Structure 1
């Protein structure tokens, strides 16, 4: 799945189809589950993502911890010592930035005029604490201008599927009264949260020139996407992770 906003940059929002893992995690599961080791199945799934997006690239990811932190990348990480962060930025060709999600919001960024890209994993904690703002700042440090940056929001949990408590909603309303619009009443004591809309709002407030929301709900489409909340509701012991990637090709390729 791709975004028209990023049509000049190699990228992709992948779901659960097209890989080799089997069982409940079938088939393009990209989860590492805290291990520094890459299983044969994960290695093959990674190879397929690279081949479909930017052949020959090095796939780079971080150890995601629901933080607002963004790291600038100029070379692949040692797989056993990936930094703890939730976003990446680079101006180096041949790197494919990857973010894993399973309901959280994947955001891909590009300033195509100067060849600077970013990728962010925005769970609610990272979203409210500014992971997208820090990604934009890291891109600016590499020469990007926020007025030229375009962003695409990939598959994530939709408003109709994301039930939260009233106390949760108040955290966002305390940050800014206007955030009330991202919540609608649910059953007593609960509300439905539009996290995609909230992240898009943060991006627009930051001065991003174009934000493309794909509008795909991960929870309600079990044949297409992994979902942490769906797995929890079903009492499953684990859940798969999908990947969103963006990369810069070498000149002339």
Structure 2
């Protein structure tokens, strides 16, 4: 089966793709294109999947770079192919031939481009990273490489949708303590539970960072099992592990 990658209209003219789980070599609970080097899937299979992604992006395997993601607001600048994975949750580059790959399984994969400046970025933005400023920090790091905020476009890929993202009152309190206006990203759920709009919040934070041209391409990772891995779905089923989707952008 061939791999499937989704595109964002807003990033047209830039090589990118939000890869689904289709077309990989993993099996069992990881069935498909699991690119998570931190998963318990067989490492040779994960590397084979990542090699397939690199091929789709027309780069050598070492040029598909990543980071050791830990739900932070840290951003690193990449200037050459590397197999190292520094601790961070976003990357930026202006180096041709380098592909930035972000892993997700419900969190937001966000791809950025300033086509005029030749600067790109990629961020892993779960609720914590988004709240702590990973998206704004990515924009700032792109500026350091010569990008202009007014020229940056950004696309949020497949992630968990509001109807699938039930949270407790303490989660709501964390957001509204930072800004009472953040209450608008929550809808009432059952009893004291609420439904959080992660992509809506991501778009808000992008616009607050000066990115006027941003969109969510849609697709809920939780509700479309045939195409996407989901940490929350795995948790609800008490499964031992889950696959990771990869989203990639390159110059």
How would you bin the TM-score normalised by the shorter chain? over 0.9
Q: What is the CA distance between 1:155 and its match in structure 2?
A: 0.4
Could you tell me how far apart the structure 2 residues matched to 1:2 and 1:45 are?
19
Matches within 5 A, 1:37-116: 39-56=43-60, 58-79=63-84, 82-116=85-119
The alignment status of 1:12 with 2:17, answered yes or no, reads: yes
Over the aligned positions, Cα root-mean-square deviation in angstroms equals 1.5
Q: Which residue of 1 aligns with 2:127?
A: 124
Q: What is the CA distance between 1:84 and its match in structure 2?
A: 0.4
Q: Which residue of 2 aligns with 1:165?
A: 168
Q: Which residue of 2 aligns with 1:235?
A: 238
8 Å Cα contact 2:102/2:246 also seen in 1: yes
Q: What is the CA distance between 1:209 and its match in structure 2?
A: 2.6
Q: What is the CA distance between 1:167 and its match in structure 2?
A: 1.5
The alignment status of 1:185 with 2:188, answered yes or no, reads: yes
8 Å Cα contact 2:8/2:217 also seen in 1: yes
Q: What is the CA distance between 1:39 and its match in structure 2?
A: 2.5
Could you tell me how far apart the structure 2 residues matched to 1:196 and 1:135 are?
17
Could you tell me how far apart the structure 2 residues matched to 1:38 and 1:112 are?
37
Q: Which residue of 2 aligns with 1:251?
A: none
Unpaired runs of 5+ residues, structure 2, are: 1-5
Could you tell me how far apart the structure 2 residues matched to 1:97 and 1:84 are?
14
8 Å Cα contact 1:146/1:207 also seen in 2: yes
Could you tell me how far apart the structure 1 residues matched to 2:240 and 2:58 are?
34
TM-score by length of 1: 0.93
SS in 2 for 1:97: strand
List per-residue Cα deviations over 1:198-248 (Å, max 9, x = no partner). 010000111113102112110011111000000000010000000000001
8 Å Cα contact 2:155/2:215 also seen in 1: yes
Could you tell me how far apart the structure 1 residues matched to 2:87 and 2:113 are?
22
The alignment status of 1:133 with 2:168, answered yes or no, reads: no
TM-score by length of 2: 0.94
8 Å Cα contact 1:54/1:247 also seen in 2: no
Could you tell me how far apart the structure 1 residues matched to 2:37 and 2:29 are?
15
SS in 1 for 2:150: coil
8 Å Cα contact 1:105/1:153 also seen in 2: yes
8 Å Cα contact 2:39/2:241 also seen in 1: no
Q: What is the CA distance between 1:56 and its match in structure 2?
A: 3.8
Unpaired runs of 5+ residues, structure 1, are: 249-253
8 Å Cα contact 1:89/1:139 also seen in 2: yes
